[in-house]
Amino acid sequence: MSTINKKKRETIVLDENSLPLFFPKFTPNFFLPKSSIHSPLICISREIQKYQQSTELLIKKLPFERLVREIAQDFLS
């Protein structure tokens, strides 16, 4: 029976300052292929998040009011 000398595996914890200069800083999309970063679903979800966080109106108030009045007038008559 032969014995195998097993070395303890050490886990190395690296922080930002310990990385070499040529190694890019970690970004969430660093390990993803470009096709998945720019897929239509990702772009759509980013656009949805943008409009949910903004307070600007997509349609100005007066044109929207005219549209609602026109639809209400057609509905009532």
What does each C-alpha distance from 59 to 26, 31, 54 come to in angstroms? 39, 39, 13
Q: What are phi and psi of 39, to 5 degrees?
A: -70, 155
- What is the C-alpha separation between 27 and 16, in angstroms, rounded? 12
- What is the C-alpha separation between 55 and 66, in angstroms, rounded? 21
Q: pTM score, two decimals?
A: 0.34
- Where exactly are the structural domains of the chain? 16-76
Per-residue confidence (pLDDT) for residue 17, from 0 to 100: 60
Per-residue confidence (pLDDT) for residue 61, from 0 to 100: 92
Series of mean pLDDT values for 10-residue runs along the chain (77 residues): 54 56 55 62 86 86 95 92
